[in-house]
């Protein structure tokens, strides 16, 4: 194509290219989207893609049917996932053996392979089309929707779905101040956690006078169980890149940096490719599309510190210093990277920008609540049937997310709590199921929106164990600079451990509360200030459970090892010996009658006997 | 000049002054452990907390790192600060009880019990020695290593440093080892032997002996 070599000289060139790509696409509307994100890759989608290709080649249809190895399609639980277009027939848990049938029946004849269809775990109903599945039906997939139709490695694919159109519009039809104003009107708030209005952030940087400014994309996503940013970067890197360029134009930055954690090598590869391709097309670099605006993007790879997601620590890390936060002010707009005005935006925030510029702030504002507009991606994990990535309008209730989209609690369990906001967030009990999910509501409830991790817990989860898990995480990940955070977290963990061992006292519980609020008040950065949330929120809503541990030495969920014991009920036991054979601690012996008994002193409480017993004779108390 | 409100008082200070310097200038004492006039601010000990912002929407910051800003409302002696500070001192006592500086702080702020499991660390990681070595001695022989609970002061790769001239600056400035009192016995985290260091004046005299408002000692006593 002529444009590809020469680079795009103007938005008109881009439109011409888009027209051609769309025409070419129109001729090949039959295609298969194979999910290539981590979850499905682990399930084996790589080999599925290869054998699909082989099979099509054998049958001579390679020219007519496209295979797209896409980003996350959402329903990670049922991987590998394939969607057959144009009908949008959804196949889950596809194996290599099914491929021939999929091509013969579905691709060539349009028939449905019944056994590969998604089956609702609660109602048992089968669904043919992706859009009918409750998991997708109740979502608003503004950002993730493009993953279905988009090969992340192909800039042509992105351009064909109106990619970089927003950039063209911003560069030629809008002044930087107008772009900032549009984002301000949209009420877009930072998706990384704190929810600061993006428009205001940009405005401050726009107004700052300096010869050089920076815009940084924060892709240092580290919350346990959260993978929204990774999936966005791997599924649609150009959307983030386009948002970054528009942001750079709006604030007057000539350099953009994507700070990404080293644990995301695939995302780094895809981003590098995206940057290369955009540079080749003249969408990045000098005089972008003839507008006179110069913008360069580089990638900076983190070294695995959770605290570097905090903006001032992130900037230190890019400068090559130890990733430690400093107290603000001066804010990054006054003294950022290399002491120049700097804006740091989250991946998801930037991905929203092209949508807002292209469709207008009004369109964006139509979803969401008054204070929290637009959609938010959550990674729905834990004891829920449909684990995966979900994109929902803000203001949706937790019940809708967990029970309608998530398909309810796994194995028919009972809902106990949902943890939002990662290690800095809190656990919300059943009474909050019907409250809307937005920045303010979650904060008032003692949790936070965070970057979008959502861990669902059932009755078999011990809340003290949860609090201890997050405290352990934070103890390792605190930078250790300020005393209140370093020592406070260690001591909170010490007390929580003591309670979990059954050696705690009510005085210690009070001390834990007191310490928690002191750490919250006196720490320097967001990590320390929110480190007490997992403890304080679990005490707030599950104080009885703490008291059970303290007063009755009992763990109601049967999790805390020191407080549980295993026994064998001789009525159900048929002396098969499986428990004796499998016990790793050799704690199960036969008594005189040949009846297995557990020697409590030797038992390591691992629960292997419970898992191996087929007769339900092992009891956990 | 920057105009701001300090404990209800309208004041003006030069640009670039920190809140700690401002408070000290106006005769208000704020305790610190990691601050020294000759070194850069670090903000690690968190003892110099002050409350900034209008009541109801205020937050706590370390005054040694916070620059004076136009129109800022600062309070240096509030219940919230006292609570947090006492908890911090209790934590310091539970970690490093053999420092006289810390024991004195405990007396001053009337921390009379430690409810945490006692540890006997030597270092509170205030970073004074590292900054002393770097900024005053120009040696950069020591630094802070590792993160979180594993953080410690060390020479690079734990090897004997050729940069170190054995000047003793680090020892001189260390609040944990410079003024090492005999300290409490192992099983007792507090000695309280220095309680007579900071007596609230009205218990001794008919008239107040200082005209500082608010008085640190009286304020804290009122909040108990």
* CATH code for the domain in which residue A478 is found: 1.20.1440.230
What does the pLDDT average to over A293-310? 92
The per-residue pLDDT for B175 is: 84
Residue A413 domain-assigned (yes or no): yes
Residue A572 domain-assigned (yes or no): yes
Asked whether the predicted pLDDT for residue B118 surpasses 50, the reply is yes
What does the pLDDT average to over A419-434? 90
> Quick check: A484 and B91 CB within 8 A?
yes
Q: Tell me the DSSP string of B105-155.
A: HHHHTT-----SPP---S-----HHHHIIIIIS-----EEES-GGG-EEE-
pLDDT band (50, 70, 90) for residue A545: very high
Nearest to A478 by CA among A425, A426, A419, A530: A530
The rounded percent of chain B whose pLDDT value lies above 70 is 79
Higher pLDDT, A122 or A618: A618
pLDDT band (50, 70, 90) for residue B136: very high
Nearest CA in chain B to A476: B148
pLDDT band (50, 70, 90) for residue A203: very high
Residue A133 domain-assigned (yes or no): no
> Mean pLDDT over all residues of chain A?
90
* Domain that residue A452 falls in: 375-458
Please check whether residue B217 touches A, CB under 8 A.
no
Residue A357 domain-assigned (yes or no): yes
Q: Where is the domain boundary, A458, A474, A502?
A: A458
- Min Cα distance B2 → chain A (Å) is 15
The per-residue pLDDT for A62 is: 77
What would the pLDDT profile of A48-69 be if each residue is shown by its tens digit? 999 888 888 888 877 778 888 8
Asked whether the predicted pLDDT for residue B180 surpasses 60, the reply is no
**A587 touches A603 (CB < 8 A):** yes
> CA torsion, points A435, A436, A438, A441, in degrees to nearest 10?
-30
The per-residue pLDDT for B224 is: 41
Residue A234 domain-assigned (yes or no): yes
Question: Do A250 and A271 fall into the same domain?
Answer: yes
Q: Is A401 helix (H, G, I), strand (E, B) or coil?
A: helix
The per-residue pLDDT for B205 is: 57
What would the pLDDT profile of A302-321 be if each residue is shown by its tens digit? 988 899 999 999 999 999 99
> Mean pLDDT over all residues of chain B?
82
What does the pLDDT average to over A489-495? 95
The partner residue sitting opposite A518, judged by closest CB among B43, B84, B115, is: B84
What is the arrangement of strands in the sheet containing A388-393, beginning at the earlier edge strand? A388-393, A375-382, A453-458, A415-420, A426-429
**A312 touches A481 (CB < 8 A):** no
All residues of chain A having their beta carbon less than 8 Å from the beta carbon of residue B59 are 521
C-alpha separations of B2 from A70, A208, A591 in Å: 56, 20, 84
Please check whether residue A491 touches B, CB under 8 A.
yes
Asked whether the predicted pLDDT for residue A286 surpasses 80, the reply is yes
The per-residue pLDDT for A616 is: 84
Chain B residues 64-123 with a CB less than 8 Å from chain A: 65-67, 69, 80, 83-85, 87-88, 91-92, 94-95, 115-117
The per-residue pLDDT for B204 is: 56
Question: Do A213 and A165 fall into the same domain?
Answer: yes
The rounded percent of chain A whose pLDDT value lies above 90 is 52
> Quick check: A491 and B80 CB within 8 A?
no
pLDDT band (50, 70, 90) for residue A207: very high
* CATH code for the domain in which residue A171 is found: 3.40.50.11540
The per-residue pLDDT for A2 is: 44
Chain B residues 118-177 with a CB less than 8 Å from chain A: 124-127, 144, 146-151
Asked whether the predicted pLDDT for residue A556 surpasses 50, the reply is yes
Nearest to A513 by CA among A486, A487, A495: A495
pLDDT band (50, 70, 90) for residue A3: very low
**B66 touches B19 (CB < 8 A):** yes
pLDDT band (50, 70, 90) for residue A533: very high
Question: Do A167 and A306 fall into the same domain?
Answer: yes
Please check whether residue B43 touches A, CB under 8 A.
yes
What does the pLDDT average to over A537-541? 93
Nearest to A12 by CA among A250, A161, A242, A173: A173
The per-residue pLDDT for A479 is: 92
> Quick check: B49 and A515 CB within 8 A?
no
> Quick check: B44 and A481 CB within 8 A?
yes
Interface test with B, best of A518, A525, A527 (most B CBs within 10 A): A518
Interface test with A, best of B148, B152, B153 (most A CBs within 10 A): B148
Q: Where is the domain boundary, A429, A458, A487?
A: A458
Nearest to A355 by CA among A342, A345, A365: A365
The per-residue pLDDT for B163 is: 85
**B64 touches B41 (CB < 8 A):** yes
Question: Do A249 and A171 fall into the same domain?
Answer: yes
Return the H-helix or E-strand segment holding A219.
strand A214-219
Question: Do A325 and A243 fall into the same domain?
Answer: yes
Asked whether the predicted pLDDT for residue B208 surpasses 70, the reply is no
**Residue B157 DSSP one-character state:** G
All residues of chain A having their beta carbon less than 8 Å from the beta carbon of residue B84 are 484, 518, 521-522
| C-alpha A207 chain-centroid distance | 33
pLDDT band (50, 70, 90) for residue B223: very low
The partner residue sitting opposite B147, judged by closest CB among A305, A327, A511, is: A305
The per-residue pLDDT for B62 is: 93
Question: Do A453 and A467 fall into the same domain?
Answer: no
Higher pLDDT, A314 or A97: A314
The partner residue sitting opposite B149, judged by closest CB among A322, A480, A517, is: A480
Residue A5 domain-assigned (yes or no): no
Please check whether residue B16 touches A, CB under 8 A.
no
- Min Cα distance B149 → chain A (Å) is 6
The per-residue pLDDT for B190 is: 67
Burial of A581 (0-12, 13-18, 19+ CB in 10 A): exposed
Distance CA A398, CA A442 (A): 10
- Min Cα distance B151 → chain A (Å) is 6
The per-residue pLDDT for A6 is: 60
C-alpha separations of A253 from A238, A337, A397 in Å: 19, 12, 38
Instruction: Count, in order, helices (H) and strands (E) of chain B.
Output: 6, 7
Contacts of A194 (CB under 8 A, 6+ apart): A526
Residues in chain A: 621
Please check whether residue A108 touches B, CB under 8 A.
no
All structural domains of chain B, each given as residue ranges with its CATH number in brackets, are 2-118+181-223 (3.10.20.740), 128-173 (3.30.70.20)
The partner residue sitting opposite B147, judged by closest CB among A329, A480, A488, is: A480
Asked whether the predicted pLDDT for residue A512 surpasses 70, the reply is yes
Burial of B83 (0-12, 13-18, 19+ CB in 10 A): middle
Q: Tell me the CB-side half-sphere exposure of residue A434, using CA atoms within 13 A.
A: 1
Domain count, chain A: 5
What does the pLDDT average to over A82-101? 88
Asked whether the predicted pLDDT for residue A213 surpasses 60, the reply is yes
The per-residue pLDDT for A461 is: 92
All residues of chain B having their beta carbon less than 8 Å from the beta carbon of residue A307 are 147
All residues of chain B having their beta carbon less than 8 Å from the beta carbon of residue A488 are 91
Asked whether the predicted pLDDT for residue A4 surpasses 80, the reply is no
The per-residue pLDDT for B107 is: 87
Question: Do A223 and A354 fall into the same domain?
Answer: yes
Please check whether residue B49 touches A, CB under 8 A.
yes
The per-residue pLDDT for B218 is: 52
The partner residue sitting opposite B91, judged by closest CB among A326, A480, A491, is: A491
> Quick check: A491 and B116 CB within 8 A?
yes
Question: Do A282 and A426 fall into the same domain?
Answer: no
* CATH code for the domain in which residue A598 is found: 3.30.70.20
Question: Do A232 and A335 fall into the same domain?
Answer: yes
**A150 touches A68 (CB < 8 A):** yes
pLDDT band (50, 70, 90) for residue B179: very low
What would the pLDDT profile of A218-270 be if each residue is shown by its tens digit? 999 988 888 899 999 999 999 999 999 999 999 999 999 999 999 999 999 99
The partner residue sitting opposite B148, judged by closest CB among A476, A483, A521, is: A476
> Quick check: A483 and B148 CB within 8 A?
no
Question: Do A512 and A579 fall into the same domain?
Answer: no
Residue A334 domain-assigned (yes or no): yes
**Radius of gyration of the CA atoms of chain A, in A:** 27
* CATH code for the domain in which residue A404 is found: 3.10.20.600
Asked whether the predicted pLDDT for residue B150 surpasses 50, the reply is yes
Question: Do A196 and A238 fall into the same domain?
Answer: yes
What does the pLDDT average to over A79-90? 87
Residue A15 domain-assigned (yes or no): no
The per-residue pLDDT for A256 is: 96
- Min Cα distance A510 → chain B (Å) is 11
Question: Do A172 and A288 fall into the same domain?
Answer: yes
Please check whether residue A518 touches B, CB under 8 A.
yes
Q: Where is the domain boundary, A408, A424, A458?
A: A458
């Amino acid at each position: 194509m002529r444009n590809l070599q020469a680079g795009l000289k103007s938005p008109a060139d881009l439109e011409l290219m888009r027209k051609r790509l769309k025409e070419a696409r129109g001729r090949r509307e039959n295609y298969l989207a194979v999910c290539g994100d981590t979850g499905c890759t682990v399930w084996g989608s790589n080999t599925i893609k290869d054998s699909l290709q082989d099979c099509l080649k054998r049958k001579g249809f390679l020219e007519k049917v496209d295979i797209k190895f896409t980003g996350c399609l959402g329903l990670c639980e049922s991987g590998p996932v394939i969607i057959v277009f144009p009908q949008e027939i959804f196949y889950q848990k596809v194996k290599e053996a099914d491929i021939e049938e999929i091509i013969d029946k579905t691709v060539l004849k349009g028939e449905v392979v019944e056994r590969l269809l998604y089956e609702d775990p609660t109602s048992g109903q089968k669904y043919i089309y992706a859009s009918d599945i409750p998991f997708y039906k109740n979502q608003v997939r503004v950002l993730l929707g493009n993953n279905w139709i988009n090969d992340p490695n192909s800039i042509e694919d992105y351009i064909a779905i109106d990619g970089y159109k927003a950039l063209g519009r911003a560069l030629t039809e809008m002044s930087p101040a107008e772009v900032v104003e549009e984002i301000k009107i949209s009420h877009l708030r930072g998706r990384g956690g704190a929810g600061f209005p993006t428009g205001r952030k940009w405005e401050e940087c726009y107004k700052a006078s300096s010869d050089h400014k920076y815009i940084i994309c924060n892709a240092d996503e580290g919350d346990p169980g959260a993978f929204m940013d990774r999936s966005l970067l791997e599924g649609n890197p150009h959307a983030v890149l386009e948002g970054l360029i528009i942001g750079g134009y709006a604030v007057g930055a000539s350099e953009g940096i994507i700070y990404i954690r080293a644990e995301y090598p695939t995302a780094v590869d895809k981003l590098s490719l995206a940057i290369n391709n955009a540079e080749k097309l003249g969408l990045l670099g000098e005089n972008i599309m003839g507008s006179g605006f110069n913008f360069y993007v580089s990638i900076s790879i983190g070294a695995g510190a959770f605290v570097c997601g905090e903006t001032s620590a992130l900037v230190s890390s890019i400068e090559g210093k130890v990733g430690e936060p400093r107290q603000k002010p001066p804010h990054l707009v006054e003294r950022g990277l290399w002491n120049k005005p700097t804006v740091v935006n989250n991946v998801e925030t930037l991905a929203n920008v092209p949508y807002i510029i292209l469709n207008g702030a009004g369109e964006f504002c139509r979803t969401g609540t008054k204070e929290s507009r637009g959609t938010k991606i959550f990674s729905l994990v834990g004891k829920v049937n449909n684990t995966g990535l979900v994109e929902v309008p803000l203001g949706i209730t937790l019940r809708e997310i967990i029970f309608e989209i998530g398909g309810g609690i796994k194995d028919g369990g009972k809902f106990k709590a949902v943890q939002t906001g990662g290690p800095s967030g809190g656990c919300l009990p059943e009474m909050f199921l019907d409250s809307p999910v937005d920045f303010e509501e979650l904060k008032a409830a003692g949790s936070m929106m965070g970057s979008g991790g959502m861990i669902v817990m059932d009755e078999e989860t011990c809340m003290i164990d949860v609090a201890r898990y997050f405290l352990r995480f934070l103890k390792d990940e605190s930078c250790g600079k300020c005393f209140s955070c370093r020592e406070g977290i260690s001591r909170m963990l010490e007390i929580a451990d003591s309670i979990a061992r059954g050696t705690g006292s009510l005085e210690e519980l009070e001390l834990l509360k007191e310490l928690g609020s002191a750490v919250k008040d006196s720490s320097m950065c967001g990590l320390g200030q929110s480190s007490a949330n997992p403890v304080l929120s679990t005490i707030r809503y599950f104080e009885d459970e703490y008291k059970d541990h303290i007063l009755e030495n009992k763990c109601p969920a049967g999790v805390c090892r020191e407080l549980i014991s295993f026994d064998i009920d001789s009525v159900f036991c048929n002396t098969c010996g499986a428990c004796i054979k499998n016990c790793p601690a050799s704690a199960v012996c036969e008594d005189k009658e040949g009846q297995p008994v557990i020697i409590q002193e030797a038992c390591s409480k691992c629960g292997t006997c419970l898992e191996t017993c087929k007769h339900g004779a092992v009891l956990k108390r | 000049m920057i105009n701001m409100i300090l404990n209800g008082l309208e004041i003006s200070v030069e640009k670039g002054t920190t809140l700690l310097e401002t408070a000290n200038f106006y005769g208000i004492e704020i305790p610190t452990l990691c601050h020294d006039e000759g070194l850069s601010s670090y903000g690690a000990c968190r003892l110099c907390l002050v409350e900034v912002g209008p009541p109801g929407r205020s937050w706590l910051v370390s005054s040694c790192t916070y620059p004076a800003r136009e129109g800022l409302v600062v309070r240096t002696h509030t219940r919230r600060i006292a609570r947090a500070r006492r908890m911090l001192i209790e934590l310091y006592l539970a970690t490093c009880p053999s420092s006289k500086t810390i024991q004195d702080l405990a007396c001053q702020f009337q921390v009379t019990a430690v409810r945490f499991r006692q540890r006997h660390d030597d270092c509170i990681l205030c970073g004074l020695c590292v900054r002393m070595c770097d900024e005053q001695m120009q040696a950069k022989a020591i630094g802070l290593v590792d993160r979180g609970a594993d953080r410690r002061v060390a020479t690079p790769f734990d090897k004997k440093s050729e940069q170190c001239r054995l000047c003793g600056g680090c020892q001189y400035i260390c609040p944990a080892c410079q003024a090492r009192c005999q300290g409490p016995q192992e099983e007792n985290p507090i000695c309280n032997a220095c309680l007579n260091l900071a007596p609230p004046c009205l218990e001794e005299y008919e008239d107040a002996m200082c005209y500082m408002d608010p008085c640190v000692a009286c304020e804290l006593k009122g909040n108990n």
